[in-house]
Structure 1
Amino acid sequence: MSLNAVAHLNFHGEAREALEFYQSVFGGQLTVVTYADFGMPAELPGATHVVFGQVVAGNGFRVMAYDVPGQDAPAAPAAPGTRRENGMTITNEPFFLSVRGESVEEVTPVWAGLAKGATVIEEFGPAQWAPAFGMLADRFGVTWIVDVATEYAQA
């Protein structure tokens, strides 16, 4: 038996847009099922929102998302609750998503894609512990770490 932990992101009316964005960055197949697909009358508010969505890519990337019922998207995403200060990460967020590759060349396009419309917390580049590291909050407010695996950080 094998287990996989998959991030399941909660949105407020923007799950489809987020999943399409992640597919544009990571590639793979997009699946979106709406509340209407599960029988909600199409004329009701929220019927086109995502009840189940995912992106699955051949490179190992996988993320799931849905729209929390009855809640509209905020007018603007909240400012990231994370900052880098004196080489330390200070945060009030319960989790980050990490994308780790084997080389700088492998993860650089991922960083470039996620950085579109993002708030950069730590610029992508060489770090004391890795050939490349960067942290950002994407345009949906999700905080990502993008780095290169090292001998002591193999996953």
Structure 2
Amino acid sequence: MTTLNPYISFRDNAREAMEFYRDALGGDLQVMTFGDIPGMVEDEAEKSLVMHSMLTTADGLVLMGSDTPAHMEYQAPQGVSVSLSGSDEAALRDVWQKLSDGATITMPFGPAPWGDQFGMLVDRFGVSWMFSAGESQG
């Protein structure tokens, strides 16, 4: 089996972001810190940073993330969006509302020219999201 899922890099706030996504999407969040793995800590101040996290929802969505240690170059996410789509408009609207907290709405969630509901936002962590709900998504 092969899977494809987003893996988001953060700078010192991966735990906060992944907990925010868990609260919005539901599911089980597993978190491993740099301090959990022998030899992974180069700076003791970073031992509680997230080396790897994985959020898995009951309906099979998987979102991963980690912190970028200070000795590594960090670039904020750009040019990529996490897309969430489906036929259950109420469920997607609920996630939209939760992720909208502290977000910049780039396109309000509403009717799209192709007949579905569509919206875009950049969440409080700088991650771009696209939402599409409607019969064509089912």
Q: Same fold (TM over 0.5)?
A: yes
TM-score normalised to structure 1 length: 0.78
Matches within 5 A, 1:92-131: 93-131=78-116
CA 1:134–1:12: 2 relative to 1, 3 Å: same
Which ranges of 4 or more aligned residues in structure 1 deviate by more than 2 Å? Answer: none
CA drift at 1:71: 5.9
In 2, are the aligned partners of 1:32 and 1:53 still within 8 Å (CA)?
yes
Equivalent position amino acid for 1:129 in 2: W
CA 1:120–1:149: 2 relative to 1, 3 Å: same
CA drift at 1:150: 4.1
Matches within 5 A, 1:44-55: 44-55=44-55
Residue identity over aligned pairs, in percent, reads 34
- Higher share of residues assigned helix: 2
Matching residue of 2:70: 70
In 2, are the aligned partners of 1:99 and 1:145 still within 8 Å (CA)?
yes
Alignment of 1:15 onto 2:14? yes
Distance in 2 (alpha carbons) for counterparts of 1:4 and 1:49: 26
In 2, are the aligned partners of 1:96 and 1:144 still within 8 Å (CA)?
yes
Q: Secondary structure at the match of 2:30?
A: strand
In 1, are the aligned partners of 2:89 and 2:134 still within 8 Å (CA)?
no
Which runs of 5 or more structure 2 residues have no equivalent in the other structure? Answer: none
Matching residue of 1:26: 25
Distance in 2 (alpha carbons) for counterparts of 1:61 and 1:130: 25
Kindly provide the CA deviation profile for residues 91-129 of structure 1, in whole angstroms up to 9, marking residues without a partner as x. xx3211100021321211010011010000000111112
Which runs of 5 or more structure 1 residues have no equivalent in the other structure? Answer: 81-92
Distance in 2 (alpha carbons) for counterparts of 1:143 and 1:130: 22
Matches within 5 A, 1:124-139: 124-139=109-124
Equivalent position amino acid for 1:121 in 2: T
Q: Secondary structure at the match of 1:36?
A: helix
Q: Secondary structure at the match of 2:36?
A: coil
CA drift at 1:61: 1.9
Distance in 1 (alpha carbons) for counterparts of 2:30 and 2:130: 24
Equivalent position amino acid for 2:19 in 1: E
Provide the aligned length of Structure 1 versus Structure 2. 135
Matching residue of 1:59: 59
In 2, are the aligned partners of 1:12 and 1:71 still within 8 Å (CA)?
no
TM-score normalised to structure 2 length: 0.87
Distance in 2 (alpha carbons) for counterparts of 1:106 and 1:20: 19
